[in-house]
Amino acid sequence: MTYKKHDCLIGFTGFKGSGKDTAAKVLIEEEGFEKVAFAGGLKHMLRSAMLEMGLAPEYIEECIEGGYKELLCAYLTPQRLCEYRILHAMVRSLIEYQGGSFKPDVFGETWQGYWESSELLAGKTYEDAWVSLFDVMEALGTWQEAQTPRHVMQQLGTEWGRDRIAPDFWINVTNRRVDLFDRVVITDCRFPNEADYIRKKKGRLVRVTRVSKVPDLRHSSENQIMELPVDEEIDNNSSVEALRAMVLSRFSDFQSSKRMGMV
């Protein structure tokens, strides 16, 4: 993997509800950052699956980015998610997420050819991808048991992408998007290899903490957060304005360090 030099790359880690997205919003609105997420690709997969089911886009966004993430969804059952057309939509959407459109003149006549030609996908074939995806979706629960969107996304991210395709799968997916911009904030760093990626890109990793939020450590995507080696921490136990001031202060310090050649 190549490591493009950025004007500024900042990664946030912390438990859900700690204020990572609020902190990122400050950098986006006031310092011209672009938001990128390691989970961007898997969210695109679930979004495409739910669109294939015929669900309304507004409802889908509430499930993926809004207030429905923790609610059981009657459409998200192993039975529905294991339908071939749904699996096909998820795998195809990830290809589109990477390349933007199919390119038969470069990658062969089909999207299967695109998948199998992509160096990001660890040499896996299209059949490898959807068969392993079937296995992971089938293991979500009993055949007609409703799942929460968050649980499905966790399974896509860890049990499928990291464990069944490659440990650095989502990092490789994310890297192409990160390299499109000069100022980037990543809001969902959870694993040691993701922290290493930010460090290799000469970025800074910041942990956001909030006492009022009790962490859910039942899934591996949450239980390594406090062990990650961070450059600094932000205590988000006051107001939004206080968080804003701390974020801008840390950004100013980071830029000063870069100018002095300390980063």
pLDDT at 38: 93
**pLDDT tens digit sequence for 209-254:** 998 666 666 656 667 898 999 999 999 999 999 999 999 999 998 8
Query: For the segment 156-168, what is each residue's pLDDT rounded down to a tens digit?
Result: 999 999 999 988 8
User: Is residue 193 included in any domain, yes or no?
Assistant: yes
* Within a domain: 181: no
User: Do 86 and 121 lie in a common domain?
Assistant: yes
Q: What's the average model confidence in pLDDT over 143-160?
A: 96
Q: What is the pLDDT of residues 52-108, one digit of tens each?
A: 999 999 999 999 999 999 999 999 999 999 999 999 899 888 877 765 544 444 444
What average pLDDT does the structure give for the chain? 87
pLDDT at 50 > cutoff 90: yes
* Residue 141 within a domain: yes
> Where does a domain end: 133, 168, 203?
168
Within a domain: 227:
yes
What is the pLDDT, as a whole number, of residue 57? 98
Please name the amino acid found at residue 9. L
Assigned token pair, 205: 């990793």
Cα–Cα dist 70/236, whole Å: 23
Do 162 and 219 have their domain in common?
no
Same domain, 29 and 128: no
Is 108 inside a domain boundary?
Answer: yes
Q: What is the rounded CA–CA span in Å between residue 116 and residue 114? A: 6
Count of domains observed in the chain: 2
Residues 164 and 51 reside in one and the same domain: yes
Do 148 and 205 lie in one domain? The reply is no
> What contacts 24+ positions apart, CB below 8 Å, involve 19-23?
19/208, 19/210, 19/234, 19/236, 19/243, 20/187, 20/188, 20/208, 21/187, 22/236, 22/240, 22/243, 23/206, 23/208, 23/234, 23/236, 23/243, 23/247
Q: Residue 56: what are its φ and ψ, rounded to 5°?
A: -70, 140
Instruction: Give yes or no: residues 31 and 49 share one domain.
Output: no
Q: How many whole angstroms separate alpha carbon 178 and alpha carbon 147?
A: 31
| Same domain, yes or no: 17 and 60 | no
Establish if 175 belongs to a structural domain.
no
CB–CB of 184/34 below 8 Å?
yes
Are 193 and 220 part of one and the same domain? yes
Residues 49 and 151 in one domain: yes
pLDDT: which is higher, 118 or 68: 68
Confidence (pLDDT) at 3: 58
Antiparallel, parallel or unpaired: β 183-186 and 8-13: parallel
177, part of any domain: no
Question: CB–CB of 219/193 below 8 Å?
Answer: no
Amino acid at 18: S
Question: Does 52 lie in the same domain as 113?
Answer: yes
DSSP state of 213: P
Residue 226 sits in which domain range?
8-37+187-260
Q: Is residue 176 part of a domain?
A: no
What are the start-end ranges of the H helices in the chain?
A: 20-31, 40-52, 57-64, 78-81, 84-99, 104-107, 111-117, 126-138, 149-154, 169-178, 192-200, 240-259
Element of type H or E holding 17: none
pLDDT of residue 119: 61
